[in-house]
Structure 1
């Protein structure tokens, strides 16, 4: 059984490990090894822990954290949908995204945005997101990565159609 819940301080290390494993597994054919290393190396900082506790949600299967997602309501931004490689392809990413979209609706947001990695853009398009132009994502550590800015409009309408 899969549940999605608000992250807490006990999820910080799992979120970090899932992020690293997911990036290395899913992005390897799209970004250089040097970029991937710069993106995921190191250890979680206090800033990371604060963001996880404030904005992250976790997907839990059989008592084990298997995925993450982040919603920043103030900017209507989705980030950090990462899955353990062992749990990719099981619909968990879609369930996380649907959960974040529902939270956005609950907060009165009519649209959302995200910066998709090159490998993830087809997934988001399949989930109703739009965007094709390649841009540059700047990480908090100053790394620049190609990404595809995407949006999803009409969140209010989606709720009434269900």
Structure 2
């Protein structure tokens, strides 16, 4: 597996993985109507712009299998999505390790994220802490329950 910086050409595949992962993993944690709004529509310029600035992709056999986004100024991790066909292979964990190494190289003191309810245990296994349920305002206008989390980085 190779993890590399994402390019604009990767955006459509990353968008598909995002939607598949949301529908596969978030079902049962969020109302079906919210999942429909969350995954509706097509790839937009804003998504491409953010992916090009902060995105990274995991590639296996020339196929993008996962994505992760990290803002190296704020330390904000903006979701790790794994193609459901590749879940359970440690790809998400490897992506988080990769993003953490980038954060350490950038001298960041911590990483922060707003976890979906279904992913909080995954992030806890990656060393994040957080229990409080809060509200996340999505770019698509949804208000979703989330778990704000932080991981202090050892130097």
Q: TM-score w.r.t. structure 1 length?
A: 0.93
Contact 1:109/1:155 (<8 A) preserved? no
Q: Give the deviation of 1:73 after TM superposition.
A: 1.4
Q: Distance in 2 between matches of 1:25 and 1:106?
A: 33
Offset from partner CA, 1:53-104 (integer Å, 9 cap, x none): 1110000011100000000112210012001100111100000000000000
Q: Give the deviation of 1:47 after TM superposition.
A: 1.1
Aligned residue for 1:74, secondary structure, equals coil
Q: Distance in 1 between matches of 2:54 and 2:153?
A: 22
Corresponding residue of 2:21: 22
Contact 2:134/2:145 (<8 A) preserved? yes
Aligned residue for 1:147, secondary structure, equals strand
Q: Distance in 2 between matches of 1:98 and 1:155?
A: 13
Contact 1:101/1:155 (<8 A) preserved? no
| CA RMSD across the alignment | 0.8
Unaligned runs of 5+ in 2: none
Q: Give the deviation of 1:154 after TM superposition.
A: 2.9
Alignment of 1:81 onto 2:87: no
Q: Distance in 1 between matches of 2:21 and 2:154?
A: 28
Contact 2:6/2:57 (<8 A) preserved? yes
Count of aligned positions: 155
Aligned residue for 1:119, secondary structure, equals helix
Q: Distance in 1 between matches of 2:86 and 2:140?
A: 28
Ranges of 4+ aligned residues in structure 1 off by more than 6 Å: none
Q: Give the deviation of 1:33 after TM superposition.
A: 0.4
Q: Distance in 2 between matches of 1:67 and 1:88?
A: 9
Q: Distance in 1 between matches of 2:139 and 2:93?
A: 26
Q: TM-score w.r.t. structure 2 length?
A: 0.98
Unaligned runs of 5+ in 1: 157-162
Q: Distance in 2 between matches of 1:87 and 1:155?
A: 30
